[in-house]
Amino acid sequence: MRENRLKESRLSYESLYRQAQSDPETFWGERAKEIEWYSFPERILDQDADGAWRWFSGGTLNTCNLALDRHVAAGRGDQVALIYDSPVTGQIRKFTFAQMTEWTARVAGALRGLGVDTGDRVILYMPMVPEAVVAMLACARIGAIHSVVFGGFAPPELATRIDDAEPKVLLTASCGIEFDRIIPYKPLVDAGLEQARHKVASVVVLQRPQCAVQLSHPRELDWSAWERAATPAPCVPVRSTDPLYILYTSGTTGKPKGVVRDNGGHAVALHWSMQAIYGVDAGDVFWAASDVGWVVGHSYIAYGPLLRGCTSVMYEGKPVRTPDAGALWRVIAEHQVKSFFIAPTAFRAVKKEDPDCLLQSNYDISCLKYQFVAGERLDPPTYDWLVQHLPGVPVIDHWWQTETGWSICANLAGVELLEPKSGSVALPVPGFDLRVFDEQGHEVGPNQEGAVVLKGPLPPGSFPTLWRDHSRFVEAYWSRYPGFYLTGDGGYRDEDGYVFIMGRIDDVINVAGHRLSTGEMEEVVAAHPAVAECAVFGAADADKGQVPLALVVLKDGQNIDATALQTELVQMVRERIGALANFKRALVVKRLPKTRSGKILRQTLRKMVDGQPWNMPSTIDDPAILDEITAVLRTR
């Protein structure tokens, strides 16, 4: 019956999109009324002193209250809020809204005991454990700003984020677990703290039985004892425009950009997106198979489902080998997942090990109504495989970014499911005004590829600035096409308006859904004493989507073996950035292809490596270089 009422109340995609375009303040003002405010916003949309667009100014609220406390007050405290499913430790634990509220209040009080107050920063370097979600919500509860650093990042990456965010407290665990491999975190954290200029006052360590560690420094605290001694803290009202979190994303310069997410716009957008995009509502089970270190883990593990009153699944495992390629189907069946969201890389791994999807027959996944994928391009073969093995379940590719915080383009399961097109992310979500521009800033016609841009203002939930660096926010995202946000992705729209995202136009690559800076890798490679210069770019990979490939020019007089050089460079990147970069190939060339102004022709190199058609750039300094590069690439 509830499903029927939802369908009856739905507007068509076209009418909803028109509303958001023609009168965004009324459209988002109505969405704002769907959440609970301490004081309703005085203004739906305005601009701050820097000229940045801000949503819901003058309103006060608390994100933790919206995600937890209000559901308890509404009588749904006994509903399961979070399911922790960890095949790597053999655990499944379920936490109700009432239990999560009580637990989060204790951790919030424990943070208060360390002097953390509204506006202070807390860094989380955590594995996929429920304490990570609780810690995020605990920061929100007291108005602190959290910054989650992916547990796979190397110490220099952690140090960079510590210096930028300047946290009072760092929360971590004794280890992470990768398949059956224990990854000790404390040595990484200790090295990051040592390398950082900013000195963190307190470090709280969650001891995991797989790898207990000795706490010896005066600043180190045992999580369990720290939490037990705390007095629970209530939710505090914060301004809608106050930051909820900082999440660092790769930049082309190698310096990570601190994306700021505000409280009000974030809550309104994610609450609405759960029903409109993902087709779920209070009481439904939603699973985003991501990591809390990435934006998907923020938006759709820790926040979105709980804001809507859904049950969120937190999975500490892999698509394969935990224990087999049936792992995803097992979780869906066991927890009655209605809507599932994962990166295409995961399904390529399943397809590789179980090409005929035979393991799926061991599980009843009739509960699954929608299959979402994002994080990288859904290649047509993987899309076709999913359609074949999920009969009757819409397979929905959608596209968004760390900066936007939620989907730019999607087929809206809770509004109107349109006819899908293989390779397309469907149509822009209401609130996003998408265009495709040529280099001169002119909009191109159907089926013509160009830079994908979004007309300002961006809708609620999108970032209003970069942490303590608004000038970089303007320069990196708004300067190339004034009034339009440069997504950094290239693509086109077909004659029906469907959007096709074809890849990055900047120097960021997507390795298994992880956005990584090639500029940062180039800094590492160029630091080798034998290397004169280098270019790192993304090469297409059947399993990972993209993997980095380095072309290296040696200094005169160097006589190093190419295999030995590659081994040393791989180790350097692993130590500086981390194993998740998946950097494994470095090829020695005599020179790099450049424009006459000295810019390396990375887009041309990408097309050459991937076997795509390419034209000789008119600005190239010496066309013969590309023949030399082609000969080297044949040896890959």
The CATH number assigned to the domain holding 257 equals: 3.40.50.12780
Q: What is the pLDDT of residue 4?
A: 37
- 27 and 146 share one domain: yes
pLDDT mean over 615-626: 68
DSSP type of residue 282:
T
Give me the mean pLDDT over the 194-206 stretch.
98
At 539 the pLDDT is 86
> Based on the domain organization, do 433 and 563 belong to the same domain?
no
Tens digit of each residue's pLDDT (9 = 90 or more) over 309-337: 999 999 999 999 999 999 999 999 999 99
The larger pLDDT score, comparing residue 542 to residue 529, is at: 529
One-letter amino acid at 303 equals Y
Report the pLDDT value the prediction gives residue 10, as an integer from 0 to 100: 47
Mean pLDDT of 583-597: 78
Residue 7's pLDDT is what? 39
Shared-domain flag, residues 541 and 438? no
What pLDDT shows up at residue 1? Answer: 32
Residue 53 or 535, more confident:
53
Instruction: Say what the pTM is.
Output: 0.84
Q: Judge if 447 and 543 occupy the same domain.
A: no
Clarify whether residues 89 and 197 are in a common domain.
yes
Reply yes or no on whether the pLDDT at 463 is more than 70. yes
Write the DSSP string, 74-94: TT-TTSEEEEEEETTTTEEEE
Closest by CA to 190, choosing from 154, 136, 227, is 154
Domain boundary among 421, 455, 489: 455
Q: How confident is the model at residue 507 (pLDDT cuts 50, 70, 90)?
A: low
CB 476 within 8 A of CB 504: no
Number of structural domains (the chain) is: 2
For 224-233, 259-268, 549-558, 622-631, which range has the lowest pLDDT when averaged over its residues? 622-631
Beta bridge partners of 80: 96
Mean pLDDT across 121-128:
98
Same domain, 436 and 525: no
Residue 298 to residue 246: CA distance in whole angstroms: 11
Query: What average pLDDT does the segment 340-353 reach?
Result: 88
Residue 479 in any domain: the answer is no
- Flag whether pLDDT at 29 surpasses 70: yes
Across the chain, mean pLDDT equals 91
pLDDT value of position 540? 84
Distance CA 292, CA 108 (A): 19
- Whole-angstrom distance, CA of residue 636 vs CA of residue 631: 10
Strand partners, 239: 60
Whole-number pLDDT of residue 598: 52
* CB 126, CB 151: distance < 8 Å: yes
Q: Is the pLDDT of residue 6 over 50?
A: no
Same domain, 610 and 514: yes
Answer for the pair 286, 313: CB distance below 8 angstroms, yes or no: yes
Give the pLDDT mean for 152-157.
87
Is the Cβ–Cβ distance between 569 and 586 less than 8 Å? yes
pLDDT over 50 at 86, yes or no: yes
- DSSP H/E element including 266: helix 263-276
Expressed as residue numbers, the domain containing 605 is: 508-633
Q: Is residue 299 in some structural domain?
A: yes
Question: Is residue 225 a part of any domain in this protein?
Answer: yes
Q: What pLDDT sits at residue 311?
A: 98
* Per-residue pLDDT at 595: 59
**How does pLDDT run across 30-39, given as a tens digit for each residue?**
999 999 999 9
More confident residue, 544 or 507: 544
Domain boundary pick from 439, 455, 471: 455
The answer on 106 and 210 residing in a single domain is: yes
Residue 171: pLDDT band by 50, 70, 90 thresholds?
very high
pLDDT at 432 over 60: yes
Q: Confidence band (pLDDT; 50, 70, 90) for 124?
A: very high
Q: Is the pLDDT of residue 155 over 60?
A: yes
Task: Determine the pLDDT at residue 519.
Answer: 66
At residue 579 the predicted structure's pLDDT band, cuts being 50, 70 and 90, is confident
C-beta of residue 28 within 8 angstroms of C-beta of residue 429: no
Q: 543, 345 in Cβ contact below 8 A?
A: yes
Establish if 484 belongs to a structural domain. Answer: no
> Lowest mean pLDDT: which of 129-133, 299-303, 367-371, 500-504?
500-504
Domain identity same for 137 and 70: yes
Whether residue 132 sits in one domain with residue 41? yes
The answer to whether residue 461 is domain-embedded is no
For the ranges 155-164, 178-187, 284-293, 527-536, the lowest mean pLDDT is seen at 527-536
Q: Tell me whether residue 606 is in a domain.
A: yes
What's the number of CA atoms in the CB half-sphere (13 Å) around residue 191?
12
Q: Which of 411, 428, 455 is the last residue of a domain?
A: 455
Residue 490 lies in a domain: no
Q: Kindly state the percentage of the chain with pLDDT values over 70.
A: 94
> What confidence tens digit (pLDDT) does each residue in 542-556 have?
888 888 999 988 887
3-state secondary structure 589-601: CCCCCEECCCCEC
| Same-domain status, 403 and 548 | no
| pLDDT at site 286 | 98
Q: Give me the mean pLDDT over the 356-368 stretch.
A: 97
Same domain, 415 and 271: yes
User: Which CATH number is 623's domain given?
Assistant: 3.30.300.30
- Flag whether 152 is in a domain: yes
Per-residue pLDDT for 16 more than 50? yes
Q: Given this model, what pLDDT does residue 523 score? A: 75
The pLDDT score that the predictor gives to residue 111 is 98
Task: Decide: helix, strand or coil at residue 571.
Answer: helix
- Compute the distance between CA of residue 433 and CA of residue 454 in angstroms, rounded to an integer: 5
Residue pair 173/127 in contact (Cβ under 8 Å)? The answer is yes
Contact 41, 59 (CB under 8 A): yes
The overall longest dimension of the chain from CA atoms, in Å, is 77
Structural tokens at position 217: 């420094």
